[in-house]
Amino acid sequence: MRVRFAPSPTGYLHIGNARTALFNWLFARKMGGTFILRIEDTDLARSTDEYAEGILSDLAWLKLAWNEGPDIGGDRGPYKQSLRQKIYDKYLDELKGKGLAYPCFCQPDELEARRKAAMEKGTAPRYDNRCRALTQKEIAQKAAQGVKPSWRFKVPERTIVVDDVIRGKVEFDTRQLGDFVIMKSDGVPTFHFAVSVDDTLMEITHVIRGEDHLSNTPRHILLFESLGFTPPRFAHLPMILGPDGERLSKRHGAASVSEFRKLGYLPEALNNYLALLGWAPEGDKEILSMDELVAQFSLEKVNRSASTFDYAKLKWVSENYIRNEDLGRIALLALPYLREAGLIEGELTEEEMERVRSVVKLVRPYLACMADVAEHARPLLAETAAASAGDLASISGAAQLLQLLAVDLEKVADIRDVDWKKFFGDLAKASGLKGKALYRPIRIAITGQEHGPELLDVIPVLGKERCIARVRDAILKITEKI
RNA sequence: GACCCCAUCGUCUAGCCCGGUCCAGGACAUCGCCCUUUCACGGCGACGACGCGGGUUCAAAUCCCGCUGGGGUCGCCA
C-alpha cells in the first residue's frame, strides 16, 4: 500500500494538513505500506522554497518520516511537481490526441466577470464550456494573435460514483461540472491534472485527504479514466474547524505546526491530540504513544463529521506529556526558553545542567507547553527572589522569623541532607509560629511568590547560599520599609 | 444558488452498519469535595447530549423520508 501527503508550499504546515499527514502516516505504518511526500508547487505565484523547507522541517519534527520524498528521492520521483513538467506535457498531448482536451482563450477577467454575473443571477458559477465550440479556424486565429490558451478537459455527461473508504458511495452528476482547466496558459498543469497523473505514476493506492477534496474527486476520476488509469481508493477526512465553526485559521489562535512548535509543545503531544480529532481509540485511554496509535489506527473508524479544534484539550494532552516524559528530555527542551529568558547563559556545566533538571522537575506540573517554563523557573533560577517586601512587611513577626531562619540555615552543613520536618519543627517552636503563618513569609522571602512547588523541595534546589542571601535580603527590605 | 458531505453532553467522542443489554459510556472544560504550609499535580463527585417532524416496528440514538442547521465544492489556488 502506498499513500502520500501532498502539501503545496504556499504557507506553513497547517494543523489540518498535519492531521492529514498523520493519518496517512498512521495508515502506512499500520498496513506496512509506504508513506510518500510530494510537493505540489504548481502555483508558481505563491509557492516558495522557504515554505517547502518549512513544511519538511515541521513534518520531520512531528516524526512523520516519509519513505520517498523530494529530499530523499525514491523510485517514482521526482517528488516535486515543478520537476515533472515533461510528464504532464506528455499526458496533455495524450488527452489532446483523444480529443478530450481543448484550448480555451477566455481571459481571467472575463471568466471572473461571468462568474460574478452568474452568482448574481443565482445560476451556477461554473464555466459555460464556450470554447469547446471553437472551430479550427477560430483557434488558429486566436493563436495567430498570440493569445496563449489554457487547456480544458472535455467533461462527459455521466454519473460518477466515488467509493469513499470513510463515507461510502457518493454519487456525482458531471453535468454539475463545467469543463475545467487542466493546463494553465503558462503551460503549468493545474492541481487536478497533476494530482491524477502523479497519483498514478507514483502508484498511490489510497488517497487520504481532506473532505474539501471530496467534490473535486469526480474530476480526478474522470482524468484517471481518460488517461486509462485505474483510480486509487479515496478516503476523505473530516474538516477541522475553529471554535466558531469556521474552518480553523490564524484568527482562532495558533493554527500552524510551527506555532505550536515554537511554543514548545512536544511533537508526540500534538500528534496524540490530532489523532483524537475525527478518530477515537478503543477503550478509555486517550494518551497514546505513536506506537500505540499505529497499533490501534484504522481508516474505517475515522469519523464522518467535522470536529472543532479544542485548545483546552490539546493543553491537557500536552501537560500529560510534559509531566510524564523522561525528565532529562524535558530539561533539554527547557533550555532554549530558559536561555531566552536570561535565566541561563552559555554552555552549561554538568553541575548547572543538574540544577536545571532539578528545577524543571519541580515546575513541570505547572507547564502546558515548554514556553511556560521560564515564568515558573525564574524564582528558582534567578539570582534574586524579587520578593515583594510590601507583603512581608505587613506580616507581623516576619523579620524575626526570617532572622531565626537565616541563623538556622547557616548551621546547615549539607542542604541536600537535612531533616526538614525537624528543621521546621524547631523553627516553629523557636518562633512561636506554625502552619501558614510560618511557611508563607518564608516562601515569599525565598521565592518572591505566594504560590509554587513544595517549599521543602525548593530550598535544596536553590542551595544554601542563595536561600540565606534571599532571606537576608528580605529582612533588609522589611527593616528599610519600617 | 446548484451539487456534495455531516448532525450524540459547551468541546472531542463511544454506541448507529447487525433496532431491545442506553432513562446513552468515556475524555476535556466547568463546578464541588478530598489531599496539602500555598498554588499546581493527584483522587473522588456533580452538572451536562441522541437538532426537529413524520414514518417502519411490540421496541429507534440506532432503519426510512422530510425539514432545519453546519461544513465543503462550483478558480488559469491547491
Percent pLDDT > 70 in chain A is 97
- pLDDT value for A466: 87
Query: Which pLDDT band holds residue A482 (cuts at 50, 70, 90)?
Result: low
Q: What is the pLDDT of residue A190?
A: 97
Give, in Å, how far the C1' of B63 lies from the CA of A96: 48
pLDDT tens digits, one per residue of A175-217? 999 999 999 999 999 999 999 999 999 999 999 999 999 999 9
Separation of alpha carbons A312 and A277, rounded Å: 13
d(CA A195, CA A204): 10
The three-state secondary structure class of A435 is helix
B8: residue with closest CA to C1': A305
Residues 6+ apart with CB under 8 A from A294: A26, A29, A30
E-state strands within A180-251? 181-183, 206-210, 233-237, 240-241
Total residues found in chain A within this entry: 482
Q: Which nucleotide is nearest to A192 (CA to C1')?
A: B78
What's the rounded Cα separation, in Å, for the pair A242 and A292? 28
* Residues of A taking part in catalysis: 250
Strands (E), A2-63: 2-5, 34-37
Strand B: positions under 7 A of a protein C-beta atom: 1-8, 10-14, 26-29, 37-42, 70-78
How far, in Å, is the CA of A216 from the C1' of nucleotide B78? 11
Nearest nucleotide, CA A376 to C1': B40
Taking the CA of residue A137 and the C1' sugar atom of nucleotide B49, their distance in angstroms comes to: 66
How many Cα atoms sit within 13 Å of A321 on the Cβ side?
A: 26
pLDDT at A392: 67
Whether residue A272 is predicted with pLDDT greater than 90 in this model: the reply is: yes
Report residues 142-181 of A contacting strand B, contact meaning Cβ closer than 7 Å. 149-150, 167-168, 170-173, 176-178, 180-181
How far, in Å, CA of A61 to CA of A110, rounded? 45
Cell of A265: 509543545
Residues 302-321/A with CB within 7 Å of nucleic chain B are 303-308, 310, 312-313, 315-316, 319-320
Measure the N-to-C terminal CA separation of chain A; round to a whole number of Å.
Answer: 78
CA-wise closest residue to A69 among A112, A108, A38: A38
CA Rg value for chain A: 32
Burial of A381 (0-12, 13-18, 19+ CB in 10 A): buried
Strand partners, A235: A208
Strand partners, A326: none
| Range in A157-161, A326-330, A422-426, A448-452 with the lowest mean pLDDT | A422-426
Q: Is A326 exposed, middle or buried (0-12, 13-18, 19+ CB in 10 A)?
A: exposed
Out of A75-79, A166-170, A378-382, A417-421, pick the least confident. A417-421
Is A402's pLDDT higher than 90?
no
Q: Is the CB of A448 under 7 A from strand B?
A: no
CA atoms within 13 A on the CB side of A286: 13
Q: Which nucleotide is nearest to A210 (CA to C1')?
A: B72
A80 Cβ contacts chain B strand, under 7 Å: no
Local confidence band at A166 (pLDDT 50, 70, 90 cut-offs): very high
H/E segment holding residue A102: strand A101-104
Q: Using the CA of A323, give the nucleotide whose C1' is nearest.
A: B41
The strand order across the sheet containing A181-183 reads A101-104, A150-153, A181-183
Determine the Cα angle at A8 with ends A162 and A47, to 5°.
145
For the record, the C-alpha cell of A381 comes out as 533560577
Among A7, A3, A58, smallest CA distance to A35 is for A3
- Cβ contact A436 with chain B strand, < 7 A: yes
Q: Please give the average per-residue pLDDT across A302-326, as a whole number.
A: 96
Separation of alpha carbons A70 and A41, rounded Å: 12
Name the residues in A209-268 having a C-beta closer than 7 Å to nucleic acid strand B: 211-216, 238-239, 241, 245-247
User: Do residues A124 and A176 lie in contact, with contact meaning Cβ atoms separated by under 8 Å?
Assistant: yes
| pLDDT recorded at residue A388 | 62
Q: What is the pLDDT of residue A188?
A: 96
pLDDT confidence bin for A400, thresholds 50/70/90: confident
